[in-house]
Amino acid sequence: MPELPEVETVRRGLAPVMEGALIRQAELRRPDLRFPFPPAFSEALKDRRVVSLGRRAKYLLIDLEGGDVVIAHLGMSGSFRVEGPALQTEAPGDFHMPRSKDVRHDHVVFHLETPEGERRVVYNDPRRFGFMDLARRENLTAHAFFRDLGAEPTGNTLDADYIAAKFRGRQTPLKAALLDQKNIAGLGNIYVCEALWRAHLSPERLAGSLVTAAGKPKTELVVLTQAIREVIADAIAAGGSTLRDHIRADGSLGYFQHSFSVYDREKEPCRTPGCTGTIGRIVQSGRSTFHCAACQK
């Protein structure tokens, strides 16, 4: 599933085309994705201007004039691409993994009027685990998708004191606590593995062990907080990890997967300087966790 850096990459790719554009038509080629579209969804978007594109956790937010917001989630295999006259819809260069080009999976088409001419933003989703919804901007924080979300790993709210308050007294394994969206919004399996490796912390360690009896963060938690912020920033800068079907909006792929230190590197040497361990894989809550038992304690 695309994680926060992948969704941020999509947002940045779509913003230059969609922001300020007029949606002449929102063409729905089926009645549902993972969930049915909201009633009169297409009619609600007709002749509406896009004000801005945002993101909350793994959700793409398309703000419209008048205060409505389109909420889009990519699910497992969803992707956007931009089409139009004189536009190159295939980015140059080699692809790490091919994107879906089957028009049978083009489920939503936004027909846009932009200063550069007509454009189409196409949502393609072979597995149809993605979805779209419509909400009022003033009600967004109370929306079921957002009301329980924790702090963003890219914002100033996320610091060691914040995480200490969430982890205090918790007997949950550290990996599970970091994946809990009520604690930190947008973190997924890939980047949690990477952050724990950078901080040299075991994914099986109890979350509460990083907090003092007085509720203050231990030095290890300070290091982990910085590792989380850095790994997310590095992934966004590299364009997202682009595993499996995920693509950037211009059709190109991110390259952060080439610098993974633990994820999907089972039995390979640990990259920590001076460490002689190898990367192992364990299963936690049905998900693969990659770590080095020699240097992650």
Amino acid at site 290: F
Q: What is the dihedral of CA 236, 3, 67, 19, to 10 degrees?
A: 40
Q: Which of 137, 218, 229, 287 is catalytic?
A: 287
Q: Are 196 and 202 in contact (CB under 8 A)?
A: yes
Q: Which of 2, 5, 153, 217 is catalytic?
A: 2
Residue 246 assigned to a binding site: no
Starting at the edge strand that comes first in sequence, how are the strands of the sheet with 68-73 ordered? 79-83, 117-124, 106-114, 22-28, 48-56, 59-64, 68-73, 131-136
287 is catalytic: yes
The tokens 């967004």 sit on which residue? 140
Q: Are 206 and 172 in contact (CB under 8 A)?
A: yes
Q: Which of 3, 152, 194, 220 is catalytic?
A: 3
168 is catalytic: no
Neighbour count for residue 43 (Cβ, 10 Å) = 9
* Cα–Cα distance measured from residue 33 to residue 114, given in angstroms and rounded to the nearest whole number: 27
- Burial class from Cβ neighbours inside 10 Å (0-12, 13-18, 19+) for residue 258 reads exposed
Residue 170 assigned to a binding site: yes
User: Within a 13 Å sphere around the CA of 90, how many CA atoms are in the beta-carbon half?
Assistant: 8
Q: Which of 11, 48, 58, 265 is catalytic?
A: 58
166 is catalytic: no
Residue 105 assigned to a binding site: yes
Residues marked as binding for DNA?
105, 127, 170
Residues marked as binding?
105, 127, 170
Q: Hey, which residues are catalytic here?
A: 2-3, 58, 287
